[in-house]
């Protein structure tokens, strides 16, 4: 999985195909942003507009997810390699993954 913009641009330099199941998602965008996306399509003609949008969204969501703070709870759920306690995460990450699994399951049953 690509996790930063430098890796994304490097991947755009090569030709790749992703055969995973996709779902159409429509949204309204400001003209300036659409112009920037079109400029990226011109700059990387081996990538479609959908490819660029999909990859940019993937990177943005990965960065948001990695920015979720870890909030240690009172419950010990594991021990690390130094045998120190690892506490349950009460931050947004577990809830995000719970919601993601719920929506993925619903999408898979459509």
CA 69 vs CA 50, 65, 72, 77, 96: distances in Å? 31, 9, 9, 17, 12
Helices and strands of the chain, counted as H and E runs: 4, 2
pTM: 0.72
Residue 75, SS3 per DSSP:
strand
pLDDT of residue 104 exceeding 60: yes
pLDDT tens digits, residue range 12-25? Answer: 666 554 556 788 88
Residue 78 · residue 55 · CB < 8 Å: no
All structural domains of the chain with their residue ranges: 1-14+26-67, 70-110
Nearest CA to 53 out of 82, 80, 24, 76 is that of: 24
Predicted confidence at residue 47, as pLDDT, reads 92
Q: Per residue in 27-44, pLDDT tens?
A: 999 999 999 999 999 999
Element (H, E) at 103: helix 92-108
Average pLDDT value over all residues in the chain: 88
């Amino acid at each position: 999985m690509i996790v930063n913009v430098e890796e994304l641009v490097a991947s755009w330099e090569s030709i790749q195909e992703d055969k995973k199941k996709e779902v159409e998602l429509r949204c309204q965008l400001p003209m300036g942003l659409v112009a920037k996306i079109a400029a990226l399509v011109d700059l990387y003609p081996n990538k479609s507009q959908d490819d660029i949008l999909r990859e940019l969204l993937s990177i943005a969501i990965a960065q948001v997810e990695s920015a979720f703070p870890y909030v240690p709870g009172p419950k010990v759920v594991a021990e690390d390699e130094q045998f120190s306690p690892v506490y349950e995460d009460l931050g947004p990450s577990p809830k995000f993954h719970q919601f993601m699994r719920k929506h993925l399951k619903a999408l898979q049953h459509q």
